[in-house]
Amino acid sequence: MAEKALGGEKYDLDIHYDFMRQKAMILSQMPDQLRPLMDGLDRRTRKYVIDKLGGFSHGADKALTLDSVFYMSALLYPENYCDGGINDLDDFINCLERDAFYFSRHHS
């Protein structure tokens, strides 16, 4: 379905808009949805997570307020993004995984 919306033979602007709006709504709600999972984090990691999720949420809220498909589609991609590169959400997850691995190896 996403392939059809984003570049298949029959491009459907309404489907594309729906996907982008859903993406923005998920990002907008991430801080509230993930807050219960932050209870066990150390202070530094918790602040980092709250700041990053807040940034994702702020950008998504702005895109939703503007009702801009272009802005919604650009969420998560850094200004210097190149095809095949990593987006900001994947980079954030990778950083958390690295920190968790480091912490488990050095504080067990």
Q: What is the pLDDT of residues 47-93, one digit of tens each?
A: 999 999 999 999 999 999 999 999 999 999 988 888 888 999 999 99
* Pairwise CA distance, residues 41 & 100, whole Å: 10
- Token output for 55: 């940034």
Q: Long-range CB contacts (< 8 A, 24+ apart) of 12-18?
A: 16/69, 17/69
pTM above the 0.85 mark? Answer: no
Query: Which residue has 């987006």 as its token pair?
Result: 87
Cα dist from 27 to 21, 65, 105, whole Å = 10, 14, 31
Q: H-type helices in the chain, by residue range? A: 2-6, 13-34, 43-66, 69-74, 88-106
* Pairwise CA distance, residues 45 & 23, whole Å: 25
pLDDT bucket at 9, cuts 50 / 70 / 90: low
Print the domain residue range for 10.
2-106
pLDDT at 96: 87
Q: What is the number of domains present in the chain?
A: 1
